[in-house]
Amino acid sequence: MPVGLAELAREAERRAEPTAAAYVFGGAGTEDTMRANEEAFRRWRIVPRMLRDVSSRDLSTTVLGTEMPAPVALAPVGSQTIIHPDGELAVARAAAAVGLPMALSTVSSTPLEEVAAAGDGPKWLQLYWPTNRELGASLLSRAEQAGYQAVLLTVDTFLPGWKPRDLQMAYQPYLHGIGIANYTSDPVFRGLLTQPPEEDMQAVVGQFLVQFSNPGLSWAELEFVRSHTALPIALKGILHPDDARMAREHGIDAVLVSNHGGRQVDGAIASLDALPPIVDAVGDDIEVLLDSGIRSGADIVKALALGADAVLVGRPYIWGLAVGGEAGALAVLRALLGEFELTLGLTGHTSPAQLGPGLLVREG
């Protein structure tokens, strides 16, 4: 297992099937937003403080009502069995081993109940709100019954982004029945079919595509979502301060500042660059999380210093999964946590709550 993430990424891409590599490593358009996410972190430089007693450090926090050993969660990544046969089950066990919340994608290869049972760590459900409201309500109910502790309602994927790598490969896992297990196991979805899923997979995929793309999604739908779950809700995909304010006004518990890892709008603002204005807009009224571009413990420190309550890490643990299965994903998580704790102490801090913008300077 390479310790350095750059080397790990190269090894993961080498081992993965070309179609899977295109899906995991690719982004929208020219992949400018993917690059911008990482470059945004490089523009902020840490200014450590010295001669502070950091002999006792505590990373723990509570976000979205979930007690966490560190302000880090696993970002949702769909169709993980295209990377490793154990997919989401392996990742759930790895996350549980370090106690970090795992956000399960709606488009997982394994039903949410089975993933919940795979590891005893906290779970969040990332939810693509379907065109059929009752299907959405059913997914929410199943998540509550399975013990999920929060919902990440994704609002930036009402249409699929333009992804040249996938188009070049003419490949989407969903078209092959991979990543739709939460749909085929749902009673409402099955009720929309004229035959059982096992008898007509083409019809299943067609109905999935009808449900997945929801360009009519609007703020008005949030009242229905809110009324059908008692779980905390974070809106995932917020990049504009006004949208963060709207989320607060609609009774949403948190916003997740995210450009979907650069997979939706090519040329979009980097998530880290969007973070400070959003923190300024909503203050302490709601929680603010961030994903897209986290590649190190230092990146975690920078995001928290700029106002994030927690971060979500995506591609790195998938690289670990590709190279070493469950053990590989676990190695990545342990490395990120280890580097985060060391960086926290080496900058003169003993807890994430102490981090603030005074720790950073902007390059140039």
| Residue 362 located in a structural domain | no
What's the pTM value of the predicted model, to 2 decimals? 0.97
What are the start-end ranges of the E strands in 138-271? 150-154, 233-238, 254-257
Structural domain containing residue 210? 5-355
Q: Is residue 360 part of a domain?
A: no
Tell me the two tokens of residue 264.
Answer: 């939706």
**What is residue 283's predicted lDDT score, i.e. its pLDDT?**
85
CB atoms within 10 A of CB 23: 24
Which of 176, 228, 250, 260 is labelled catalytic?
260
In a domain, 215, yes or no: yes
193-219 per-position pLDDT tens digit: 999 888 899 999 999 999 998 999 999
Q: Is position 363 within any domain?
A: no
Distance CA 318, CA 321 (A): 5
Task: Identify the pLDDT of residue 198.
Answer: 85
pLDDT for res 178: 96
CATH code for position 109: 3.20.20.70
Angle separating helix axes 32-43 and 271-282, nearest 10 degrees: 70
* Residue 336 domain-assigned (yes or no): yes
The reported pLDDT for the residue numbered 57 is 98
Q: How many domains are there within the chain? A: 1
Please confirm, yes or no, whether 260 is among the known catalytic residues. Answer: yes
Residue indicated by tokens 């994608």: 105
Q: What is the pLDDT of residue 302?
A: 99
282 in a structural domain: yes
What's the confidence (pLDDT) of residue 332?
98
Tens of pLDDT, residue by residue over 280-322, are 999 899 999 999 999 999 999 999 999 999 999 999 999 999 9
Q: Is residue 205 part of a domain?
A: yes
pLDDT along the chain (364 residues), means of 10: 95 96 96 98 98 98 98 98 98 98 98 96 98 98 98 97 96 94 97 91 95 95 96 98 98 98 98 98 95 98 98 98 98 98 98 98 92
Q: Residue 364's pLDDT is what?
A: 81
Largest Cα–Cα distance of the chain, in whole Å? 70
Assess if residue 361 is contained within a domain.
Answer: no
